[in-house]
Amino acid sequence: MKQFLFPCTILLLATLHFTTITAQSPAQAPAPPGPTNTTKILEKAGQYNNLIRLLVSTQVGDQIDTQLNNSNQGMTLFAPTDNAFSSLKSGTLNSLTDQDKVELLQFHVLPTFVSTAQFQTVSNPLRTQAGNANSGQFLLNVTTTGNQVNLTTGVVNATVANTIYTDGKLAIYQVDKVLLPRSLFGPPAPAPAPKPEKGSPPTSSDTPSDSSKDTSGAMGHSSSKIVSFAVAVMITASCL
Ligand SMILES: *[C@@H]1O[C@H](CO)[C@@H](O)[C@H](O)[C@H]1NC(C)=O
Ligand SMILES: *[C@@H]1O[C@H](CO)[C@@H](O)[C@H](O)[C@H]1NC(C)=O
Ligand SMILES: *[C@@H]1O[C@H](CO)[C@@H](O)[C@H](O)[C@H]1NC(C)=O
Ligand SMILES: *[C@@H]1O[C@H](CO)[C@@H](O)[C@H](O)[C@H]1NC(C)=O
Ligand SMILES: *[C@@H]1O[C@H](CO)[C@@H](O)[C@H](O)[C@H]1NC(C)=O
């Protein structure tokens, strides 16, 4: 009986150990060996599945890694959480063309390394990878109070919540909103309000197609914990 119990105990301990490891919150990960892999860093951090999918499909993730390797300016990425994506209005992403998605992602990337301290002194608007900030179409402004860093695009206000990763070359910050640029989501250029006239065509409000939201996240930590626990229970049961 003892001989039989022994491997069971090992198996059980191993399972519980795995549970503990996966449950640990990934604090600032050390620089992985070799070239920086932005999507890998985000995978480790968890809760960025929507962002990762977009970084891969638009190839902006590769662009960041290549640019990091080829410049000494560093890079900064604002990383919206899966929650930020799921709080977007339904159909927001589906209404975008592939080129729009590239712009949206590039709008989250600065072609320089910006430390948390440097946010206090950067000049507005920030220069993003998406294009000319001064045109107002890709405006991204920073406001700070104490250690709190907020961003505004003119369409949304976001808060920089956490440093996910920093190594002096690449900084990745968690943001609580998807940064929607004016170019794609802003109101059309303000025109002088026309006086209503007889026979003028009705203004058609542009309602985006209400297609399904892009929210399918991968299994989170809490559910993997539950699975591990269930496995542990099953092993225990089979050992009895
Ligand atoms: C970066 O990491 C992702 C996920 O781990 C992997 O799919 C991809 O191939 C990696 N890219 C490079 C250039 O190694
Ligand atoms: C990084 O740059 C070096 C030389 O500058 C080059 O040999 C290497 O292929 C580059 N790696 C990637 C992943 O771009
Ligand atoms: C930043 O945003 C938070 C939450 O919206 C708000 O309470 C705070 O006043 C803002 N701070 C600045 C400096 O804009
Ligand atoms: C962004 O900052 C610029 C420069 O300070 C300012 O002119 C502009 O009004 C700001 N826009 C928003 C939406 O905060
Ligand atoms: C963003 O913040 C500014 C200043 O605090 C406020 O005037 C504006 O209404 C906010 N915009 C949104 C979309 O919350």
List of the chain residues with pLDDT < 50: 1-2, 4-27, 198-237, 239-240
Distance CA 93, CA 144 (A): 29
Q: Rg for the chain (alpha carbons), in Å?
A: 23
The angle at the Cα of 70, spanning 69 to 72, to the nearest 5 degrees, equals: 90
**35: Cβ below 6 Å to ligand 2?**
yes
178 neighbors 85 (Cβ within 8 angstroms) = yes
Tokens of residue 104, six digits: 């949206």
* pLDDT reported for residue 218: 39
For the chain, give every domain's residue range: 38-187
* pLDDT reported for residue 186: 83
Amino acid at residue number 238:
S
SS (HEC) of 45-79: HCCCHHHHHHHHHHCHHHHHHHHHHHCCCCEEEEE
CATH pick for 38-187 out of 2.40.30.10, 2.100.10.30, 3.40.47.10, 2.30.180.10: 2.30.180.10
* pLDDT reported for residue 189: 55
Ligand in nearest proximity to the CA of 40: 1
Q: Which of 157, 177, 178, 182 to mutate to test the pocket of ligand 5 (most atoms within 8 A of CB)?
A: 157
